[in-house]
Structure 1
Amino acid sequence: MTKHLQNPVPLKMVSACLAGVQCRYNGQAKTVPLLKDMVQRGDAITLCPERLAGLATPRRPAEIVGGDGYAVLDGKARVYNDCGEDLTGAFIIAAYKTLHILQAAGIGEVVLKEGSPSCGSREIYDGTFSGTKRDGVGVTAALLLRSGIRVYSEQTLLGDSQPEPVLSKM
């Protein structure tokens, strides 16, 4: 009989850029020390959905045009970079690869980078490349939410919203 080792703290996933990995579109990280510490303790894994789909770092900025991540998954919106290249397929692949990894690892909670066309959980850029944000979720966040994964943003940790249940477990 095989014995499975289990982490005493429920494992979480953190957007890699929040744990210090330089994988954002501009080649930078957006490190949140609490999340980096979680990863270093072994309480969380890191993933970058866009890198999972084979997008390079650095890469052109991308935004969702015509809706949000739910609309992309439903075929009603597209993801483009600022040169007009359609990246919709890559963003959908990124979302499904992320979901499959989380399901295989039994991970039910994630902390994602707010504002990202993949990871935004409350707001994303409006598709005009003008720096304007609007309410909405990224493609990966939408798929994870539809699949029952609890999705949080780093902004919760930085104190600009009401505390969410994941914080008490960190």
Structure 2
Amino acid sequence: MKTKILVSACLMGHPVRYNASAKTQLGELLQRLREENRLVIHCPELAAGLPTPRPSAEIIAAQGEQVLAGQAQIFERTGADVTGHYQLAAWLALKAAQESGCRAALLTDGSPTCGSTEIYDGSFSGRKIAGNGVAAALLRQHGIAVFSHQQIPALLTWIAEQEQ
């Protein structure tokens, strides 16, 4: 059985990021996975009702795991507390992955939702720290392997190992 992968919609060229841009990574490797009908394209933030464009948002001095546990918050640059929207985004990403049989996810790093190796530090200064966004954290907590958009070769290796 072919492994299904949840993939951030912005990586597939959809202009759904906070600034209405895409972060297209549709290279040869992703194109092959798409042609094999392995990809489930999803934007957790749009699914949770956040608009495009929207103010940038950051987890304040914490990680996605703390946000999920109710121990930290996510604020927009405007000062608005959007924690609930991002928690919902994480749960909707998990639901999409589970309903589609995804065993892995390929997410956009840096995002308070999808960051899987790094996120912004919450100061809105452009500084990044090692860590997870809320969706990446929740997917991992439920046994779904998570890869950043910079780890596509590692994802392909992981798929090959799973399908041996």
Bigger Rg, structure 1 or 2 = 1
1:11 aligns with: 4
2:9 is the counterpart of 1:20: no
The alpha carbon displacement at 1:39 in A equals 2.9
Q: TM-score, normalised by structure 1?
A: 0.87
Change in Cα spacing, 1:132 to 1:54, as seen in structure 2 (3 Å) is same
Q: TM-score, normalised by structure 2?
A: 0.90
1:107-142 Cα offsets, whole Å, 9 max, x none, are: 110100011100000110000100000011000001
Give the stretch that moved more between structures: 130-139 or 28-37. 28-37
The alpha carbon displacement at 1:76 in A equals 1.2
The code of the aligned residue for 1:138 comes to: G
1:71 aligns with: 66
Alignment equivalent of 1:148, drawn from 136, 140, 143: 143
State the number of aligned residues. 157
The alpha carbon displacement at 1:35 in A equals 2.6
The code of the aligned residue for 1:136 comes to: G
Runs in 1 of length 4+ with deviation above 6 angstroms? none
- Counterparts of 1:95 and 1:36, CA distance in 2: 26
* Percent identity of equivalent pairs: 45
The alpha carbon displacement at 1:85 in A equals 0.4
The alpha carbon displacement at 1:43 in A equals 1.8
The code of the aligned residue for 2:101 comes to: G
1:90 aligns with: 85
The code of the aligned residue for 2:145 comes to: R
Alignment equivalent of 2:33, drawn from 26, 30, 38: 38
The code of the aligned residue for 1:167 comes to: L
- Counterparts of 1:40 and 1:82, CA distance in 2: 39
List alignment gaps of at least 5 residues for structure 1.
1-7, 158-162
Change in Cα spacing, 1:103 to 1:121, as seen in structure 2 (3 Å) is same
Q: Considering only aligned residues, what root-mean-square deviation do their CA atoms show, in Å?
A: 1.5
The alpha carbon displacement at 1:38 in A equals 2.7
